[in-house]
Amino acid sequence: MKIQQKQKDDIQVFELDGELDFHTSPDLREKISAEVSKQNHKVVVNLKNVSYIDSSGLATFVEALQKAKRASGKFILAELAPAVKSVFEIAKLDKVFSLAGTEEDACRLAKA
Amino acid sequence: MDKTFHLEANAQELKPFRAALRQLLEHAGFDEKMIQETILAVDECLTNVIRHAYGSKPGKIEVRVQDTPHEVRFSIKDFGHKFDPTQLPEPKLPPEKPGGLGVFLTRQLMDLVEYDPHFREGNLIHLIKYKTNQR
């Protein structure tokens, strides 16, 4: 999995490309955790090019959301492919996360 | 079709296995949604074997895939520590903490999940996905 990180205004945007599973999630967890743990940080993860997610990937995002909340920050997921979104829905995590249709919407939500 | 995969208990094996499994499921006539569900369910079982049966140490996993007229049947065998995922309680949804969703996803996505208590050398789990919605 490729993980690219960029800054848009005061928002850290992660762009992921590949499959998020038990093998690839530890690297992502480490990179995201470093950002969401900072006080008042805004983090957006663009999943446009993620074709697969398993429970390890879900756990990575649940942990990131918890850390962001503790640090009074924002953690938004954007552009989930239908196959990925359906896994969130099965676990009822679509009710917990802010899921944005576009990266721009996600950045607006992060700033709100 | 009756095919057995011989895998190492290594997370790096998961991605190529998923690609190979996709081909078999396409051949079995599954639609895209059923393919995605089945791949995720089997992948979660393998992840559990790597994490719990082998404790992330080296080991062997055998995955037998049988395509029959009405269903695709999986038999996942390992030779590690005893771990019966069917005994785990249902998680609270949505989860309040990370983890604990793998077995839940397998149960949700397959039509049958069965642990064979008679297999003494390790663990043997049977999964079935019907070709039509018979739930």
Starting at the edge strand found earlier in the chain, the sheet holding A2-8 runs A2-8, A11-20, A42-53, A74-78, A98-100
Domain that holds residue A67: 2-111
Residues of A in contact with B19 (CB under 8 A): none
User: Residues for chain A: how many in total?
Assistant: 112
Are A22 and B51 inside 8 Å of each other by CB? yes
**In total, how many domains does chain A have?**
1
For strands B60-67 and B71-78, give the pairing. Answer: antiparallel
**pLDDT averaged per 10 residues, chain A (length 112):** 96 98 97 95 98 97 96 97 97 96 97 90
Identify the pLDDT of residue B100.
87
What radius of gyration, in Å, describes the C-alpha atoms of chain B? Answer: 14
What does the mean pLDDT of chain B come to? Answer: 95
Are B43 and A54 inside 8 Å of each other by CB? yes
What is the ipTM, given to two decimal places? 0.94
Identify the pLDDT of residue B106.
97
> What is the Cα–Cα distance from B95 to B117, expressed in whole angstroms?
29
Angle between helices B102-109 and A82-90 (to 10 degrees): 100
Q: What is the CATH number of the domain that holds A53?
A: 3.30.750.24
Query: In degrees, to the nearest 5, what angle opens at C-alpha A86 toward C-alphas A49 and A68?
Result: 70
Identify the pLDDT of residue A112.
87
- Closest CB to A59 among B11, B98, B109: B98
> B2-130 domain in CATH 3.30.2130.10?
no
User: Residues for chain B: how many in total?
Assistant: 135
Inform me whether the pLDDT recorded for B32 exceeds 90: yes
Are A21 and B43 inside 8 Å of each other by CB? yes
pLDDT band at B133 (very low <50, low <70, confident <90, very high): low
Average pLDDT over residues B92-105: 91
Inform me whether the pLDDT recorded for B135 exceeds 50: no
Are A22 and B11 inside 8 Å of each other by CB? yes
User: CB-side exposure of B61: number of CA atoms within 13 Å?
Assistant: 30
> What is the Cα–Cα distance from A27 to A66, expressed in whole angstroms?
18
- Closest CB to A23 among B14, B95, B108: B14
Pair B119, B49: CB distance under 8 Å: no
Inform me whether the pLDDT recorded for B5 exceeds 70: yes
Pair B110, B71: CB distance under 8 Å: no
B50 in A contact zone (CB under 8 Å): yes
